[in-house]
Amino acid sequence: MDDLIAEFLTETNESLAEADLALVKLERTPDDAATLSLIFRLVHTIKGTCGFLGLPRLEHVAHAAENVLGKLRDRELVATPGVVSAVLAALDRIKLIVAGLGATGSEPAGDDRDCIAALERAAAGEAPEAGAVAEASPVAEAEHVEAPAAAAENSVGSQTIRVTVDVLEELMTLVGELVLTRNQLLQISRAEGTSAFTAPLQRLSHITSDLQEGVMKTRMQPIGNAWNKLPRLVRDLAHETGKKIQLDMHGQETELDRQVLELMRDPLTHMVRNSADHGLETPDVRRAAGKPETGKIRLNAFHEGGHIIIEVADDGYGLNVVKIREKVLSKGLATEAELAVMSEAEVKNFIFRAGFSTAAAVTAISGRGVGMDVVRSNIERIGGTVELASTLGQGTCFTIKIPLTLAIVSALIVRACAERFAIPQISVLELVRVGRDTGGAGSMAIERIGSTPVLRLRDQLLPLVTLGELLRLERTEAVPVSATVVVTAVGSGTLGIVVDDVYDTEEIVVKPVAPILRHVTMFSGNTILGDGSVIMILDPNGVARSAGVSATRAQRGTGDEAATGARSDDQTALLLFRADGDTAPRAVPLSLVSRLEEIERSKIERSGGGYVTQYRGKLMPLIGMGDGAPTGGDAPQAVLVFADGARCMGLMVDTIVDVVHDRLNIELASGRPGLLGTAVVAGQAAEVLDTSYWLTLAWRDWFGNAQSANTRPRRLLIVEDSEFFRQLLVPALAAAGFEVTAAGSGAEALRLRDHGLEVDAIISDIEMPDMDGLAFARVVREGGAWAHLPLIALSGRSSPADEARGREAGFSDYCHKFDRETLMESLKQSLNAQVML
Amino acid sequence: MSVHGAEVRAAGAGDDSHAFVTLMLADQLCGVPVLCVRDVLADQTIARIPLAPPEVAGNLNLRGRIVTAIDLRERLQLPRRAAGAPSMSIVTEQGSELYALLVDQVSEVLTLQRSKMEPNPPTLPPIWAEHSEGIYRLAQGLLVVLSVDRLLALGLAAAA
């Protein structure tokens, strides 16, 4: 039977039962408006759905009944027993038809004119005798449908029940607890050896597994549910783009956890939309290429080893590597040199990068910058991966691999120092046993580039992080000679996590971490192991992010060492270059340089007394080592790009000389700002760059002297209920040299005030729950330590009326939420004005 | 050890009286309202959480639920507990999350008259003033009534 019909039957049976009860109640209290509108709504819904499903008999009867009910509701009719009987008779007739529908899958043949006529008479106010209608229904027909009605009792109507999602979630939690307890018992039993408990425990264990499976099943939904809107979407797209598209769907019945399903809905829709819009050609192009006019999009879903694989494939253009390269270059996502060494697969993976879209034109359908990067991050958020395969001229195929469920996962238990951690199995690619340092045990060994550990794994260089160091664990025992590298898939790349030991895999129940620990993004949750101990679950993507951050920190550390002249016997990769017209080379540790660029002269623009260029979709300040001007000539400007967190700046140099491996040993301190001193590098004296000087220089200039070198940083308080905006604003303002404190609500901010927090200015959101920005401003202005501070409103709405309301409440300025420039300007003015006061 | 019995007594003792679970923290007698307390635990195995704020002592397993342990000595900036010294914890619930407050010793439940509670003396160090609701003068010494909500407002403390 059609799924829609089955669903309709379940729903209608429920509605009818409810309507029956309500009608009887109505007869007793004819004036009860609430009951009346309830019945009206129920019948109306039935009518609407019948029309939609193409069930004319039902529709007509329901329509006639609705007419009567409408008049009752509008008080044109009184609910006399006669009228109610007519409606009840109509409901009975609906039940009969529904029963027939349930038995055969289609409406039984029959004539409802009598019933409809009775209803029409009732609607017209000619109250028929109570019971007349019921008698009027032809006996023959009643007999005709009686048998299927009895059968229907046992079919769809009674075989499904509706359970709220909450109940299912609660069951899932309980089963999770049960699994944990079972694991604990098994652990004890294993330690005890054979005992009288062993056999029943085995049985308990089996039942628990079955129960877990059963409860998981209740949460399972066929993936077809996430696909049912796609045929329509594709049809509309085909229409709009003038393409002929056929959508093939396979494996709709593949089931996955509803939570996962919900999270997959949007990415899938987006991918299909992309395939239709960018992937497939127009009929002319297809004909010219010798392909059938109709393009195919194929969706396929199936189970594979505890995961669901979803394929989204089209037989269109395929990805054009040449075009992607051009695009990558023009967007500044990578340099030519970097692209040259990349494999085709790596180049193709650029379509997952933020700010990349191959469509030349922005169409109404796609190409608005929300692209495959969002798709990938959504998939990764639920612990999935996405891969792509594409042949030019033959099409593209995306393969998504996602876990069946998020609640119970299989995880690898590892040890770092004295602590154990769980790594979700889905992201583990392989385990490699290695020697801890060059010359250690085994043929595989960890090598170092500068201070960064790497592993040569077959044909690739695998970046490594040492879990113990990353988590700042204290090592109580001696460093073991060998370690294990857990190779994990993060984003489109791989990362090796160095751990001391690997235990076994265990089914773990993922529990969210306490709110006060949410900021530690390296953990995706915590769990209780079979032995009762609580351990943290690592999120490899979070580890990768943190590793990126801590790597820059570590590198800054080496810079400081150089500054104090500490002897460092480690060889460092040093970049030698010439700048400021000087013939003596200058040096900078290569690890501090995030990339080398050559920028066309025409791309360098003057702005605000400095130089900038558009780099990766953002403006990057350029600083010259001499007078700040680009070094002469028409050749492209060589630039060293330094990145620190979200900020980056370019240092313009004359030429890049070489990269040498040498000890960085500064022997003469420098009196000149921006240089640490002189070191002997590769046999000649070179001045060593103080990168932090140039970074601060670039960014202080950039933000218009928001903070002058000698005064303390300005302190800001941000009041913003949205975590998203807090995360957006705090780093941006911190980057501009402010000391930022964030509060999630007006009340929290006021508490901070009462605790004596001193700030120089306050930025507050307007739309907030409980105490909105206006109320907050009034309280601040009423008195207390902050009464005279600059108070800047941030709002999504910035009409003059809103602004006037803001000023009235005490705000000194009003900025639009997304306009960082205006905010900076406003801050600068407010703070300067305050200094003058 | 459960204190549900005490809860019942507290409820029956009239409007003005409040029952407190008393505890020791670095030789200071403190109390928390008995209604906040779900469980009192003896010394537990606490799994450390890397990178957590210093006040967070770690996680512990309370009958299959994960409880975040907060060391009140750290929270109130008191000297560290000597290595190996026993501790006890008071389990409390906030927004469906369980927290264990680590203290030196948990002792009896006292029922006290609300009207006898005195405000914090103005000279109380800020860290105590922030977390104290008031003081009771008892024969065995002064009892500081701790506010569980404020003790658990860790995120806010980090911001301030």
Nearest CA in chain A to B151: A516
Dump pLDDT digits (tens) for B134-151: 999 888 889 999 999 888
Top-ranked range on mean pLDDT: pick from A430-444, A670-684, B44-58: B44-58
- Map tokens 């006669």 to a residue: A82
- Map tokens 């529990």 to a residue: A511
- Please state, in angstroms and rounded to a whole number, the distance separating the CA atoms of residues A247 and A240: 16
Residue to substitute from B44, B48, B49, B120, interface A, most A β-carbons within 10 A: B49
Ordered by where they begin, the domains of chain B are 4-155 (2.40.50.180)
- Please state, in angstroms and rounded to a whole number, the distance separating the CA atoms of residues A448 and A661: 12
A482-514 burial: b if 16+ Cβ within 10 Å, else e: ebbbbbbbbbbebbbbbbbebeeebbbbbbebb
Residues of B in contact with A759 (CB under 8 A): none
- Please state, in angstroms and rounded to a whole number, the distance separating the CA atoms of residues A319 and A278: 10
pLDDT of residue B9: 45
- Of the candidates B51, B99, B160, the beta carbon closest to that of A472 is on B51
Which helix (H) or strand (E) covers residue A352, if one does?
Answer: none
- Please state, in angstroms and rounded to a whole number, the distance separating the CA atoms of residues B71 and B49: 13
pLDDT of residue A193: 77
Is A147 or B100 the better-scoring residue by pLDDT? Answer: B100
| Residue A406, token pair as written in the block | 């998020």
- Which one, of A245, A251, A264, A252, lies nearest residue A365 by Cα? A245
Lowest mean pLDDT among A167-171, A363-367, A441-445: A363-367
- Please state, in angstroms and rounded to a whole number, the distance separating the CA atoms of residues B49 and B43: 18
pLDDT for B92 beyond 90: yes
pLDDT for B31 beyond 80: yes
Q: Is the ipTM of this structure higher than 0.90?
A: no
- Please state, in angstroms and rounded to a whole number, the distance separating the CA atoms of residues A772 and A761: 18
* Alpha-carbon distance values, A438 to A254, A475, A495, A513, A554 (Å): 49, 21, 19, 38, 21
Q: Is B45 close to A533, i.e. CB distance below 8 A?
A: yes
pLDDT of residue A436: 65
Q: Could you tell me if A778 lies within 8 Å of chain B, comparing CB atoms?
A: no
Task: Taking residues A667-680, report their average pLDDT.
Answer: 70
Strand order in A739-743's β-sheet? A739-743, A715-719, A761-765, A791-795, A813-816
Look up residue A445 and give its DSSP letter: B
Task: Taking residues A600-618, report their average pLDDT.
Answer: 78
Return all residues near A214 (Cβ < 8 A) that are at least 6 apart: none
Task: Taking residues A57-78, report their average pLDDT.
Answer: 82
Task: Taking residues A150-175, report their average pLDDT.
Answer: 69
Task: Taking residues A47-59, report their average pLDDT.
Answer: 78
- Of the candidates B47, B97, B155, the beta carbon closest to that of A533 is on B47
Q: How far is B84 from chain A (nearest CA, A)?
A: 17
pLDDT of residue A10: 79
pLDDT for B105 beyond 80: yes
Task: Taking residues B92-111, report their average pLDDT.
Answer: 89
pLDDT band at B2 (very low <50, low <70, confident <90, very high): very low
Residues of B in contact with A757 (CB under 8 A): 160
What is the pLDDT of chain A when averaged over all its residues?
76
| Residue A337, token pair as written in the block | 């040199």
Which helix (H) or strand (E) covers residue A751, if one does?
Answer: helix A746-754
**CA atoms within a 13 Å half-sphere pointing along the CA-CB vector of A328:** 23
Residues of A in contact with B61 (CB under 8 A): 528, 532-534
Please state the length of chain B. Answer: 160
- Please state, in angstroms and rounded to a whole number, the distance separating the CA atoms of residues A687 and B128: 54
Lowest mean pLDDT among A117-121, A655-659, B24-28: A655-659
pLDDT for A669 beyond 80: no
For residue A115, give the 3-state DSSP assignment: helix
* Alpha-carbon distance values, B87 to A39, A42, B45, B138 (Å): 63, 62, 11, 24
pLDDT of residue A425: 86
pLDDT of residue B71: 92
Q: If contacts are CB pairs under 8 Å, which of residues 466-525 in chain A contact chain B?
A: 471-473, 511, 514-517, 520, 522
| Residue A111, token pair as written in the block | 């004539």
pLDDT of residue A808: 85
Q: Is B49 close to A536, i.e. CB distance below 8 A?
A: yes
- Please state, in angstroms and rounded to a whole number, the distance separating the CA atoms of residues A412 and A753: 47
- Please state, in angstroms and rounded to a whole number, the distance separating the CA atoms of residues A57 and A115: 11
Q: How far is A355 from chain B (nearest CA, A)?
A: 33
Look up residue A530 and give its DSSP letter: T
Q: How many CB pairs under 8 A join A and B?
A: 68
pLDDT of residue A666: 66
- CB count within 10 Å of CB A779 equals 20
Task: Taking residues A66-73, report their average pLDDT.
Answer: 82
Dump pLDDT digits (tens) for A684-729: 778 877 776 777 677 654 433 334 444 567 788 888 887 666 766 7
Ordered by where they begin, the domains of chain A are 3-159 (1.20.120.160), 165-222 (1.10.287), 224-403 (3.30.565.10), 425-539 (2.40.50.180), 564-702 (2.40.50.180), 715-836 (3.40.50.2300)
- Output the DSSP codes for A232-292: HHHHHHHHHHT--EEEEEE-TT-EEEHHHHHHHHHHHHHHHHHIIIIISPPHHHHHHTT--
Q: How far is B147 from chain A (nearest CA, A)?
A: 15
Residues of A in contact with B126 (CB under 8 A): 755
Question: Taking the mean position of all CA atoms in its chain, how far away is CA A34?
Answer: 43
| Residue A664, token pair as written in the block | 């960085």
> A503 near A415, Cβ under 8 Å?
yes
Task: Taking residues A745-751, report their average pLDDT.
Answer: 86
pLDDT for B13 beyond 50: no
What percentage of chain A reaches a pLDDT higher than 90? 3
pLDDT of residue A820: 65
Return all residues near A633 (Cβ < 8 A) that are at least 6 apart: none
Q: Is B155 close to A515, i.e. CB distance below 8 A?
A: yes
Q: Could you tell me if A743 lies within 8 Å of chain B, comparing CB atoms?
A: yes
> B95 near B148, Cβ under 8 Å?
no
A382-402 burial: b if 16+ Cβ within 10 Å, else e: bbbbbebebeeeebbbbebbb
In terms of C-beta density within 10 A (0-12 exposed, 13-18 middle, 19 or more buried), how is residue A765 classed? buried
Phi–psi pair at A615, nearest 5 degrees: -135, 115
- Map tokens 């299909």 to a residue: A272
Strand ranges in A500-569 using DSSP code E only, listed in sequence order: 501-509, 523-528, 534-538
pLDDT of residue A670: 64
pLDDT of residue A628: 58
Q: How far is A752 from chain B (nearest CA, A)?
A: 6
- Please state, in angstroms and rounded to a whole number, the distance separating the CA atoms of residues A334 and A315: 29
Q: Is A533 close to B61, i.e. CB distance below 8 A?
A: yes
- Map tokens 């549910």 to a residue: A225
Q: Is B154 close to A472, i.e. CB distance below 8 A?
A: no
Between β-strands A618-624 and A647-653, what pairing exists: parallel, antiparallel or unpaired? parallel
Question: Taking the mean position of all CA atoms in its chain, how far away is CA A289?
Answer: 38
Q: Is the dihedral of CA A699, A705, A709, A713 positive or negative?
A: negative
Residues of B in contact with A180 (CB under 8 A): 64
Q: At what angle do helices A81-104 and A3-28 cross, to 10 degrees?
A: 160
Lowest mean pLDDT among A301-305, A696-700, B6-10: B6-10
pLDDT band at A367 (very low <50, low <70, confident <90, very high): very low
pLDDT for A405 beyond 80: no
Question: Taking the mean position of all CA atoms in its chain, how far away is CA A670?
Answer: 48
Lowest mean pLDDT among A266-270, A501-505, A515-519, A590-594: A590-594
The pTM assigned to this predicted structure is 0.45
pLDDT for A158 beyond 60: no
* Alpha-carbon distance values, A442 to A401, A429, A445, A455 (Å): 34, 21, 7, 13
pLDDT for A133 beyond 50: no
* Alpha-carbon distance values, A269 to A226, A243, A265, A355, A402 (Å): 9, 18, 6, 20, 16
Dump pLDDT digits (tens) for A519-574: 777 888 888 887 778 899 998 878 887 776 333 333 333 333 333 333 333 456 77
Is A107 or B23 the better-scoring residue by pLDDT? Answer: B23
Torsion on CA atoms A319, A322, A323, A324, rounded to nearest 10: 70
Q: Is B95 close to A528, i.e. CB distance below 8 A?
A: no
- Please state, in angstroms and rounded to a whole number, the distance separating the CA atoms of residues A764 and A786: 13
pLDDT band at B118 (very low <50, low <70, confident <90, very high): confident
Nearest CA in chain A to B48: A419
